[in-house]
């Protein structure tokens, strides 16, 4: 563990047990935040694409250092820094979004082009409560600590050249121009700057206005604006059209520290100013930082692990930290009339997070789950639809799979999340079922090869991946319809959830196995393709799967496991085939469509194989990286579940059981109850369950109900280093 990446331990612990708004008490070790290392996952080449800067749980603002190369998080650990931007997406692929409102501390005359003011870094320290670094080129020590909607910076300038601060209003990640118009106003007398950008070329193609207000603790001696290629010293305002650069700058006397606080709003400049005053009313950097520490201690206390060393705790609590960053809570950044309803933003996307992120939320933070459901319902009321991605306050019909809003709402119903209006939720899902499913699916029961979907700039929907996804959506929609007292809709949709069979080609063969999900043409013919061939967006543009193959998607009908198992030849053949698929890497176990696939062994009486593969997957998470994009909490939630010995069995209220990776973990629920998972005779390599007892009662199946956990108690496991017959 690098000293630079984890803050040093405080001499005194927090006194007493603190209680958060959701009832989670501070843990016996009250300094859990110190284990978080935000540099985990920041490497390139699909190692996570995580954001190294600090934030609060679901914080609207996420200040972080910027480089001109690297991931969609705007950061390359090996590259020089260009400054600090205020908004970021966590662990995402695709087109870049945010990197908005860059502040660049410099010395001497202002440099506006990012390539001209890059600085090597030294003494980098990334933590949950603060990011600090020295910009070696300038000798400036920079620090930032977060509040929910605002951030406080502290810049310690050297003596000599004048202290300079440049604000880039129109850039986005990697220094690209991302503006459909912008304006800025400087108030030198009061040390305040107000700016707005209308976004362009973000992943969500909608043009969205974003405002910021920044306040200085010192009066500048010089200032000015750069618009296009023109620099105007002494100017205090400017507006620019689309695709035109806009920046502003301050200058101060040399050798004195400068503090700056900034808030961002998706509503108005006035609301940004109000949020700044509410979140950071003064200039006490340490007080803001202590609040972040306390907030994270409460959040991380929801799951604790014991009996392992600091390196394991670093990896676990960093993953738990990552699970809570997105979606982002922007309820307070709304017009007054809208603040009574939760407003959650930056679903990037539900196709990713419905697998693990929301199931973990249902267990640890059900009130947050309910708030997200209310926000989805409100989005539907405002826009007439609630799509799989909702970014920067706008819908985006991504089309990666189906209509995964149905999965999130339906899974919440099945898992008993309280506080959700299920009649309203059903209205959203029924709209999707009858209006948002693609026309051919509604008529013929499948999405055809060559069919178009509503995505404005990328046809991601594919016959072989979207058809089973729509069938799964229909299952959830049917359950919601039943809960809303609509039995006819429920029956029709549950019947339609069998539509996956319309793209099941029983004659398709691969490696000696028959029967696969195969894309189908509008005239009814199956596409002639090798089930091992998949779409990567480039070479295989015409293959009918999104991020997968026929092998991958043939295991995704989680709502109809009996039908899927029968279609593959029964239980024994299913086990043999799945072992072959995993042993020969035909299944991408670290991408969302296959997250649950290894645990399907438990559904056919082989939990020993599920435990074996759970361990294989666990080993893919290295100390400093994820095995792919972190995907807004999807991958980190996967790790948390795997670590504690649970995995969500979607479409049910069950969790799969497998061997955990520490002797003890404790879940503290929102109502204060606790649920412990203990592993008798645990040690690395003992990856099989030999026996299980729930509150003194023998557990003989490899499943646990959500209510068993939320009721509190203890699951006592005995482990073995060789396969056992438990749970068969």
Q: What is the largest CA-CA distance in the chain?
A: 79
Asked if residue 361 is part of any domain, the answer here is no
Of the candidates 651, 643, 630, 628, the one whose C-alpha atom is nearest the C-alpha of residue 562 is 651
Tokens (6 digits) for 505:
């080609």
Asked if residue 536 is part of any domain, the answer here is no
Q: Would strands 230-233 and 222-227 be described as parallel, antiparallel, or unpaired?
A: antiparallel
Burial classification of residue 619, based on how many CB atoms lie within 10 Å of its CB (0-12 exposed, 13-18 middle, 19 or more buried) = exposed
Tokens (6 digits) for 177:
């121009």
Indicate if the pLDDT at residue 185 is higher than 60.
Answer: yes
Asked if residue 547 is part of any domain, the answer here is no
Please check whether residue 166 is in contact with residue 104, taking contact to mean a CB–CB distance below 8 angstroms. yes
**pLDDT level of residue 457 (50, 70, 90 thresholds):** low
CATH number, domain of 149, equals 2.70.98.10
The boundaries of the domain holding residue 172 are 32-299
Tokens (6 digits) for 174:
């990697």
pLDDT score for 440: 96
Question: How far is it, in rounded angstroms, from Cα 717 to Cα 719?
Answer: 6
Tokens (6 digits) for 157:
């300038």
Of 249, 281, 299, the residue that ends a domain is 299
Of 253, 274, 299, the residue that ends a domain is 299
Asked if residue 262 is part of any domain, the answer here is yes
Of 280, 299, 318, the residue that ends a domain is 299
Question: How far is it, in rounded angstroms, from Cα 549 to Cα 540?
Answer: 11
Helix (H, G, I), strand (E, B) or coil at 62: coil
Cα end-to-end span (Å), the chain? 41
Out of 314-318, 463-467, 542-546, least confident range: 542-546
Tokens (6 digits) for 727:
């749970």
**pLDDT level of residue 305 (50, 70, 90 thresholds):** very high
Instruction: Report the percentage of the chain scoring pLDDT > 70.
Output: 94
Burial classification of residue 570, based on how many CB atoms lie within 10 Å of its CB (0-12 exposed, 13-18 middle, 19 or more buried) = exposed
Tokens (6 digits) for 709:
């956990």
Question: What is the DSSP-derived secondary structure letter of residue 612?
Answer: H
pLDDT score for 17: 30
Question: How far is it, in rounded angstroms, from Cα 247 to Cα 644?
Answer: 48
Number of domain units in the chain: 2
Of the candidates 557, 229, 206, 262, the one whose C-alpha atom is nearest the C-alpha of residue 395 is 206
Asked if residue 99 is part of any domain, the answer here is yes
Question: What is the DSSP-derived secondary structure letter of residue 248?
Answer: E
Question: What is the DSSP-derived secondary structure letter of residue 527?
Answer: P
Asked if residue 462 is part of any domain, the answer here is no
pLDDT score for 459: 76
Of the candidates 167, 142, 86, the one whose C-alpha atom is nearest the C-alpha of residue 258 is 142
Question: How far is it, in rounded angstroms, from Cα 102 to Cα 109?
Answer: 17
Indicate if the pLDDT at residue 12 is higher than 60.
Answer: no
Write the pLDDT tens digit of every residue in 640-687: 999 999 999 999 999 999 999 999 999 999 999 999 999 999 999 999
Asked if residue 351 is part of any domain, the answer here is no
Task: Calculate mean pLDDT across residues 317-344.
Answer: 98
Indicate if the pLDDT at residue 10 is higher than 70.
Answer: no
Burial classification of residue 487, based on how many CB atoms lie within 10 Å of its CB (0-12 exposed, 13-18 middle, 19 or more buried) = exposed
Task: Calculate mean pLDDT across residues 235-264.
Answer: 97
pLDDT score for 15: 31
pLDDT score for 21: 35
**pLDDT level of residue 28 (50, 70, 90 thresholds):** low
Asked if residue 96 is part of any domain, the answer here is yes
Of the candidates 605, 598, 638, 634, the one whose C-alpha atom is nearest the C-alpha of residue 621 is 638
CATH number, domain of 668, equals 3.30.2080.10
Rg from Cα positions in the chain: 26
């Amino acid at each position: 563990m690098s000293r630079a990446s984890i803050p040093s331990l405080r001499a005194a612990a927090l006194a007493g047990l603190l209680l958060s708004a959701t009832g989670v008490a501070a843990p016996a070790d009250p300094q859990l935040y110190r284990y978080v290392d935000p540099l985990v996952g920041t490497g390139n080449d699909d190692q996570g694409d995580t954001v190294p800067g600090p934030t609060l749980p679901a914080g609207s603002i996420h200040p972080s250092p910027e480089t001109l190369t690297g991931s969609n998080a705007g950061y390359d650990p090996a590259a020089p820094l260009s400054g600090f931007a205020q908004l970021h997406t966590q662990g995402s692929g695709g087109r870049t979004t945010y990197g908005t409102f860059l502040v660049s501390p410099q010395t001497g005359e202002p440099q506006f082009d990012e390539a001209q003011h890059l600085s090597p870094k030294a003494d980098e320290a990334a933590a949950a409560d603060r990011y600090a670094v020295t910009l070696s080129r300038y000798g400036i020590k920079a620090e930032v600590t977060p509040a929910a909607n605002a951030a406080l910076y502290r810049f310690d300038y050297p003596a000599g050249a004048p202290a300079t601060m440049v604000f880039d209003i129109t850039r986005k990640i990697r220094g690209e121009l991302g503006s459909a118009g912008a304006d800025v106003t400087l108030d030198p007398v009061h040390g305040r700057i107000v700016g707005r950008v209308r976004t362009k070329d973000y992943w969500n193609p909608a043009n969205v206005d974003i405002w910021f207000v920044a306040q200085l603790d010192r009066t500048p001696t010089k200032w000015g604006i750069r618009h296009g290629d023109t620099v105007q010293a002494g100017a205090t305002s400017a507006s620019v059209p689309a695709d035109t650069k806009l920046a502003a700058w301050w200058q101060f006397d040399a050798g004195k520290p400068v503090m700056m606080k900034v808030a961002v709003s998706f509503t108005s400049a006035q609301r940004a100013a109000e949020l700044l005053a509410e979140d950071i009313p003064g200039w006490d950097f340490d007080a803001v930082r202590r609040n972040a520490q306390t907030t994270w201690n409460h959040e991380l206390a929801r799951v604790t692990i014991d009996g392992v060393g600091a390196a394991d705790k670093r990896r676990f609590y960093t993953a738990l930290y990552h699970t809570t960053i997105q979606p982002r809570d922007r309820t307070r950044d709304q017009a007054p009339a809208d603040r009574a309803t939760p407003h959650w933003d930056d679903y990037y996307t539900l196709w990713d997070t419905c697998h693990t992120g929301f199931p973990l939320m249902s267990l640890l933070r059900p009130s947050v789950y309910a708030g997200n459901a209310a926000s989805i319902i409100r989005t539907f009321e405002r826009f007439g639809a609630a799509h799989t991605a909702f970014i920067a306050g706008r819908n985006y019909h991504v089309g990666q799979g189906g209509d995964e809003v149905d999965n999130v709402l339906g899974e919440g119903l099945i898992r008993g999340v309280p506080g959700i209006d299920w009649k309203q939720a059903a209205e959203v899902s029924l709209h999707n079922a009858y209006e948002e499913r693609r026309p051919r699916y509604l008529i013929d029961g499948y999405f055809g090869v060559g069919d178009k979907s509503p995505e404005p700039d990328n046809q991601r929907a594919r016959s072989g991946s979207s058809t089973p996804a729509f069938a799964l959506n229909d299952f959830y929609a049917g359950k919601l319809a039943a809960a809303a007292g609509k039995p006819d809709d429920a029956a029709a949709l549950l019947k339609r959830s069998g539509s996956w069979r319309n793209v099941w080609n029983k004659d398709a063969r691969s490696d000696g196995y028959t029967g696969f999900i195969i894309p189908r043409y509008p005239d009814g013919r199956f596409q002639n393709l090798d089930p091992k061939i998949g779409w990567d967006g480039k070479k295989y543009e015409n293959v009918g799967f999104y991020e997968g193959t026929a092998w991958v998607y043939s295991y995704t009908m989680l709502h109809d496991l009996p039908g899927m198992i029968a279609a593959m030849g029964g239980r024994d053949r299913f086990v043999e085939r799945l072992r072959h698929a995993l042993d020969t890497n035909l299944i991408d176990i670290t991408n969302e469509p296959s997250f649950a696939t290894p645990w399907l062994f438990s559904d056919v009486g082989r939990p020993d194989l599920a435990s074996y593969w759970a361990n294989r997957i666990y080993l893919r998470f290295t100390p400093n990286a994820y095995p792919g994009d972190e995907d807004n909490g999807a991958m980190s939630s996967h790790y948390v579940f795997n670590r504690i010995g649970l995995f969500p069995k979607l479409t049910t209220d069950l969790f799969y059981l497998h061997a955990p990776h520490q002797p003890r973990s404790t879940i503290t629920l929102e109502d204060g109850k606790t649920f412990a998972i203990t592993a008798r005779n645990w040690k690395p390599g003992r990856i099989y369950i030999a026996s299980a007892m729930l509150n003194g009662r023998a557990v003989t199946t490899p499943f646990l109900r959500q209510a068993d956990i939320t009721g509190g108690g203890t699951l006592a496991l005995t482990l073995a280093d060789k396969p056992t017959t438990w749970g068969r």
